[in-house]
Amino acid sequence: MHGFSKGRTFIGESHPRHSDGTRMNDTTQFRRQALTSRRMVLLAAASLPSLGIKALQANATFTKIAKAVWVWKDRILAPDDLASFCERYQIGVLFLYLTLQAGESLLSGADNARKTTASLRTGGRRVYACVGEPDWVLEPLRLPDHLGLAARAVSAGLFDGLHLDVEPHALRAWHDPSSRGPLLKGTVELLALVRSTLPDAAIDAAVNPAFAVEPYRGETFLTALTRHVTSISIMSYRDDVLKTISQAMPSIRQISRLRRRWRLGVLVDPNPDEPGTSWSNRSIADFDSAMDDLDAILRSQFSALGYSGLAFEGYDGLKLIEQKQSTVVPRNESQPSCCSANPRRKCST
């Protein structure tokens, strides 16, 4: 247990820090009065100048934002310039997709695989093994083979933790309220099974904001899931700063009550099928400015409530934005969308 602020203790990761190593300031004003509605979020945004934060003129640069990044495809057996990209943008956490082949190579001691993961963990960067499939929640009596492999890799110290991206809402049965109950139960049981397998590990889970309003056995589905993990990544995917925060508010309240840390998701992979969710078509100047604003608001309002930075989906989308420099590039339909990189990802609630 690590002290996070006077009177509150958060489970799991150490106190959030800026890239220069300094602690983020506790905001006792907002510890006493957390934002609880879109109206209050809008009022808070209007008061930014009084807090010393100017919209579109945030002092923090993109490199100083505490960042996690989802990395899809196999970058362990087929490495690219991911390590140098992480250094360039001071990325502190990776949710690194672990294929079965890469996991087996790591556990067998293959030099190339272990050298790649070791290079990604330099400089204090934490690398989580990222796995997950929706059908894992169907009667989870034991860990699926892929998940069991990832758990063994975490137990062996090859990763700093486990990131679960299960997404039961991608199953057809989720959309029928009469058949959703078993999926809720199966997801909670799966996370409980993972926690019993890895009792001391850092476990992060990606969640849809809709989980915060889904009832489950006298509480919400999100609350039930959060009890079994160390931290949460909220996939509040909107291409507008205030809409992103507003959609995430119920999740933030519930996660903070359980004293877990959380990150706010930002979609940068192209997603033409769900307009209004991705930042992929913004210029790098607009994107950097918006991310500075988003992080500044979250730090000023929620540092005492477990905020641990932004989580970007994904690495390929960030590289595309980097390549744009300061101009907007028309959408190239041949570029992989977030749904082709991770076909089950559903951004809308």
Q: Is the pLDDT at 136 greater than 80, yes or no?
A: yes
Q: Is the pLDDT at 326 greater than 50, yes or no?
A: no
Predicted local distance difference test score (pLDDT) of residue 62: 86
Predicted local distance difference test score (pLDDT) of residue 283: 84
Q: Which residue has the tokens 């595309």?
A: 320
**Could you give phi then psi for residue 35, rounded to 5 degrees?**
-70, 135
Q: Is the pLDDT at 222 greater than 50, yes or no?
A: yes
User: Rounded to two decimals, what is the model's pTM?
Assistant: 0.80
**Could you give phi then psi for residue 253, rounded to 5 degrees?**
-60, -45
Residue-wise pLDDT tens digits, 85-123 = 999 999 999 999 999 999 999 999 999 999 999 999 999
Distance CA 33, CA 164 (A): 31
Residue 49 tokens read as: 């100048």
Q: What percent of the chain has pLDDT over 90?
A: 71
Predicted local distance difference test score (pLDDT) of residue 324: 76
Q: Is the pLDDT at 35 greater than 70, yes or no?
A: no
Q: What percent of the chain has pLDDT over 70?
A: 76
Q: Determine the average pLDDT of the residues in 306-327.
A: 87
Q: Determine the average pLDDT of the residues in 298-323.
A: 94
Domain spans of the chain? 2-341
Q: Is the pLDDT at 289 greater than 60, yes or no?
A: yes
Q: Check residues 6 and 318 and name the one with the higher pLDDT.
A: 318
Q: Determine the average pLDDT of the residues in 297-310.
A: 96
Is residue 220 within 8 A of residue 184, CB to CB? The reply is no
SS3 assignment for the chain: CEEEECCEEEECCCCCECCCCCECCCCHHHHHCCCCCHHHHHHHHHCHHHHCCCCCCCCCCHHHCCEEEEECCCCCCCCCCHHHHHHHHCCCEEEEECCHHHHHHHHHCCHHHHHHHHHHCHHHCEEEEEECCHHHHCCCCCCCHHHHHHHHHHHCCCCCEEEECCCHHHCHHHHCHHHHHHHHHHHHHHHHHHHHHCCCCCEEEEECHHHHHCEECCEEHHHHHHCCCCEEEECCCCCCHHHHHHHHHHHHHHHHHCCEEEEEEEECCCCCCCCCCECCCCCHHHHHHHHHHHHHHHHHHHHHHCEEEEEEECHHHHHHHHHHCCCCCCCCCCCCCHHHHCCCCCCCC
First to last CA, the chain: 33
Write down the CATH number for the domain with range 2-341. Answer: 3.20.20.120
Q: Determine the average pLDDT of the residues in 293-297.
A: 96
Least confident span in 154-158, 241-245, 343-347: 343-347
